[in-house]
A and B are shown apart, each in its own frame.
Chain A
Amino acid sequence: MLFQEILARLDRYWAERGCVIAPPQDTEVGAGTFYPTTFLRALGPEPWRVAGIAPSRRPADGRYGDNPYRFQYFYQYQVILKPSPADVQGLYLDSLYALGIDPKAHDIRFVEDNWESPTLGAWGLGWEVWMDGMEITQFTYFQQVAGTDCKPVSVELTYGLERLAMYLQGKAHAFDVEFAPGVTLGDLRRDLEIQHSRYNFEESDPDLQRLLFDKFEHEAYRLLGKRLVYPGYEFVLRCSHAFNLLDARGVLSQTERQGYVQRVRRMAEATAKAYLEYEAAKAAGGESHG
């Protein structure tokens, strides 16, 4: 099954189960969880279902394309179901059927894996899903986001698309996966991976990233103060990415690192607060033109 076919089938499967198939976010994010359609929508009481490919960046995970599983830029498939429905595991297993994987023919396991994002002030409990020993999906019931209890609880499913595709196509390296007829994932991403790995580890300018972090942080608070939640949050995401670049460059001491994590977390909490206030005001009919 071609990579783009996997994507299409997951989209169709989750669309049929009431999910909005949302286009990817166009700011750098560390994981699908940072998407506003996840991070913000997990807050507050309204039901919400969304799914879709979520390209993500973790600069420190770059391996110049050598490692078959690890990349600084990768594709997740992200699903949010709020509130988490009964038998969400059954729904998930059915999605594997949709990909032509018969769970009865494999050793599929839900192995405890709890998730915590210090930068988002978020944590949840759940599993990693193993298929024949390989982790193919992360499964998390959000308990807190931005330090606030999630009521109702959302469940997040994150499929590792590269791994699934490797499995389905029997490839030993993600870059050998066929994306479209005659085009591999490597054709699309190998050069990018090598160049960005060089950038992340060798060429990025730590002084610039520190400076950018400070400026972005200032801008985030300025915008959130004006109830510009979405623009403000984009600057939070940019801060997070600047921090990730500094981290990958190995220039942060443990203390400094902790300091940056706390700063992003405070911004994330401020965003959540601004978002909930904005939504409350909107519900009261007071907020539409600022």
Chain B
Amino acid sequence: MADLLFEVGTEELPSWYVSSGGDALVALITERLTAAELVPSEVIGYATPRRLAVWAKGLPAATPRRAEERRGPPANVAFGADGALTKAALAFAAKNGVGDAALKRRDDDKGSYLYATVEVGGEAATAVLPELLASVVRDLPAPRKMRWGDEPTPFIRPIAWLLALLGDKPLTVEVAGVKSGTVTRGHRFLLPGEFQITSAAEYAEALRDRYVLVDRAERRSATWRAVEAAAAANGLVAEHDSALLDEVTDLVESPFGILGEFASGYLELPEEVLATVMVKHQRFFPTRAPGGRLASAFVGVSNNKVADEQVVRKGYEQVLAGRLYDARFFWRSDLRKSLSQHAWGLSGIAFQKELGSMADKTARVGETVGLLLDALALPQSEADAAKQALPIFRADLATEMIFEFPELEGVMARAYALAEGLPQATADALLGGVSPKTHEDAVPATAAGAVLALADRVDKLVGFFALGKRPSGSADPFALRRDGLAVARVLAASGWMLPVTTLVEAGAAAYANGLVTVTTDTQEAVVEFIWDRVASLLVENGAPVNAVRAAILGSVTVVGAARRVELLTALLALPEMTDLMALYKRAANLSKSSGQPIDGHAFDRPTRALGADVRPALFSEAVEQPLLDALPAAQRGVHELLALTKQQLPGWDLRDPAPRSLTGLEPHVAEVVSIKAPLDAFLDGVLVLADDADVRRNRLALLSEVVRVLRQLGSLEQLAGG
């Protein structure tokens, strides 16, 4: 047993790659070692901006030995008439490196052949590892690799050195023009230079002594502690920002927090602007007075512990001051016009050449919003807020601030709206209308914002699909999947019973007399595209794929599908439901043969009276009437389950798991399951496809009713495994 240490020293890695690259290295090395039968007991990964490394513990000294039988020539070729081995047989033995003694003939159902017993394995780890590690370097996944110098082998950034040790023995790994040694390097500025490592166990400690925290989790907590401490020294609290902390952690090998200040006059800017400038542009942590508003101070994280901290602080402050100066300049300059005046500028900003300008787009969005407001019975105040927001929706795109800080779109619209005295609800709708921009971003906070957001996204989807610019494979140049995901999330979070088809129709209607023709095929494609996004969100949150499929095929609204997924997942855990599913499947198959198609997305619609098509007069067997009689209870159970689900899950952002588990299902499940016995008896006791056409039709109608009742839970055939 020996421990392997392998370090790839690089020029500075992109910060977003450090963590995932470290994980990828652990995964790939584990995979390759396992495939080579050098299975480690544990693999620990390290990652900093300048190195990715693994410590694979407990590697066997060699691959395991075992006997392997190899089939040679057929017996009639391997043996001469005299029973002696032929030339062919000897050649086979030589090829496998064994003597006569290892050869034997066997007759079995595969025929008669000569076999050689070959000892395999037993390769020394020191012999296997050099090429194995080189292959890991060559194959380490990265989104965009690069070449350097004359070297043809690409890597995410140029490789500066390699370190490979098995136990205390160096391994010679050669890849990408670099030959491994037993030295690593300390912190680029604090203790540069090479130094010897003699075992894997001492690696992390030895680097810690040289100002490198190789353990990423340790470096992350150290970074946050440094930030907190720097702020606390001035009685301030640093704003925790997980994404920023991740980024900063991977921009340093050792973190040193430095508190800086800016002129308090800049506090006239909206907090989001200040935070964006600090966080996005300078990677500084904003600070607050405890419980209070943003302070005119920030914490930067230096990678270097310098003799005179003033030098670095002054640098940080000067750069931030320049950025804030610009931001305040834009803020004041933008405020000279109202948002309605800025909105005039939208005609000069292209949306997409075939789909017109942003002014054309917002006009279409206005029409769609009108249609959606007709379809949704929103409180008057929300409808009013949406209508007030429309003429200035996305007007901030024409401001200088957004030209400079595009990520503040919506945030600035709200800030400018409030600054010019518009109502809070209108201002919130302007921000909500462009939310969520990313996976991390929240869904709109208000109903008015949600309506604008849906209209805006569906306009883009319909327009681009009509142009034939839909995503294919991994290519999604217009980020339409992001729009689809936003639609799915907003619809689910709103809790609105707005069919996806209605939304898409409202989007398409705004293109009438317009720039492109939106066919029904295009609309259907957009609808399916949105459902696919719904499915991917639900599956990402751990819902079983068959439950997702059953729920989506059985729903017309996104929130309906999301609720059904929760309900079906809960039901699937109950043993009494399993039997019912099997019976359901038989019933569904039969009723399908009646020629009534089982269509998707058909379940939130009002249905006709239960059993209206069944004529009891045509019953001839004793098991028919009981099934008809069992329908109302089952129907009641199903309705209660759906009502309960709706009540317990009013709607939530599909990015997150459902906010709670369903409770109190049992009595209603019992009602649903009460149909099992009569259904079982019916299926066993009658010939559904009777010769008499009227009887046949009547029995099929009865089964269809059973299916209809149960399918309100979802497209259950998806669950029954077919």
* B11, B150, B353: the one within 8 Å of A152 (CB): B150
> Is A111 at the interface (CB under 8 A from chain B)?
yes
Q: Contact: B251 with A255, CB < 8 Å?
A: no
Q: What sequence of 0s and 1s flags, for each residue 144-188 of chain B, a beta carbon within 8 Å of any chain A beta carbon?
A: 101111100000011010000000000000000000000000000
Cα-based distance from A283 to B42 in the complex (angstroms): 58
Q: Contact: B315 with A106, CB < 8 Å?
A: yes
Which B residues lie within 8 Å of A208 (CB)?
none
Which B residues lie within 8 Å of A89 (CB)?
11-12
Q: Which residues of A44-58 have CB atoms within 8 Å of chain B's CB atoms?
A: none
Q: Contact: B315 with A105, CB < 8 Å?
A: no
Q: Contact: A253 with B306, CB < 8 Å?
A: no
Q: Which residues of B622-664 have CB atoms within 8 Å of chain A's CB atoms?
A: none
> Is B704 at the interface (CB under 8 A from chain A)?
no
* A83, A87, A125: the one within 8 Å of B144 (CB): A125
Q: What sequence of 0s and 1s flags, for each residue 114-138 of chain A, a beta carbon within 8 Å of any chain B beta carbon?
A: 1000000000110100011110000
Q: Contact: B149 with A86, CB < 8 Å?
A: yes
Q: Contact: B315 with A109, CB < 8 Å?
A: no
Q: Which of B319-327, B456-464, B487-495, B525-533 contacts A (4 or more CB under 8 A)?
A: B319-327
> Is A69 at the interface (CB under 8 A from chain B)?
yes
> Is B574 at the interface (CB under 8 A from chain A)?
no
> Is B432 at the interface (CB under 8 A from chain A)?
no
Q: Which of B27-35, B297-305, B471-479, B590-598 contacts A (4 or more CB under 8 A)?
A: B297-305
Q: Which residues of A193-210 have CB atoms within 8 Å of chain B's CB atoms?
A: none
Which B residues lie within 8 Å of A133 (CB)?
282, 284, 300, 315-316, 319-320
* B14, B148, B157, B350: the one within 8 Å of A153 (CB): B148
Q: Contact: B326 with A143, CB < 8 Å?
A: no
Q: Contact: A141 with B148, CB < 8 Å?
A: yes
Separation in Å of the A243 CB from the closest CB of chain B? 17
Separation in Å of the A256 CB from the closest CB of chain B? 9
Q: Contact: A172 with B318, CB < 8 Å?
A: yes
Q: Contact: B304 with A104, CB < 8 Å?
A: yes
Interface centre among B147, B150, B157, B353 (most CB of A within 10 A): B147
> Is B312 at the interface (CB under 8 A from chain A)?
yes
Separation in Å of the A139 CB from the closest CB of chain B? 9
> Is B195 at the interface (CB under 8 A from chain A)?
no
* B190, B284, B319, B322: the one within 8 Å of A132 (CB): B319
Q: Contact: B148 with A107, CB < 8 Å?
A: no
Q: Contact: B189 with A103, CB < 8 Å?
A: yes
Cα-based distance from A103 to B349 in the complex (angstroms): 45
> Is A254 at the interface (CB under 8 A from chain B)?
yes
Separation in Å of the B681 CB from the closest CB of chain A? 70
Which A residues lie within 8 Å of B319 (CB)?
132-134
Name the residue of chain B whose CB is nearest to the CB of A251. Answer: B348
Cα-based distance from A103 to B187 in the complex (angstroms): 13
Q: Contact: A131 with B350, CB < 8 Å?
A: no
Cα-based distance from A104 to B307 in the complex (angstroms): 9
Cα-based distance from A286 to B277 in the complex (angstroms): 58
Cα-based distance from A85 to B149 in the complex (angstroms): 6
* A125, A150, A152, A253: the one within 8 Å of B350 (CB): A253
Separation in Å of the B586 CB from the closest CB of chain A? 59
> Is B135 at the interface (CB under 8 A from chain A)?
no
Name the residue of chain A whose CB is nearest to the CB of B154. Answer: A143
Which A residues lie within 8 Å of B318 (CB)?
134, 172
Which A residues lie within 8 Å of B692 (CB)?
none
Separation in Å of the B261 CB from the closest CB of chain A? 14
Across the A-B interface, give the 7 residue pairs with the lowest CB-CB distance, nearest first.
Answer: A132-B315, A254-B350, A112-B14, A110-B12, A107-B302, A255-B353, A125-B146
A-B contact pairs, 15 of them (CB 8 A): A89-B11, A103-B189, A104-B190, A105-B311, A106-B306, A107-B300, A112-B12, A112-B16, A132-B312, A132-B319, A133-B300, A134-B318, A141-B158, A151-B147, A254-B350
Given A109-B303, A112-B15, A133-B315: 16 more A-B contacts, CB < 8 Å: A68-B322, A83-B149, A86-B160, A89-B11, A105-B307, A106-B312, A106-B315, A107-B306, A125-B144, A125-B146, A127-B12, A133-B316, A143-B146, A143-B147, A153-B149, A153-B150
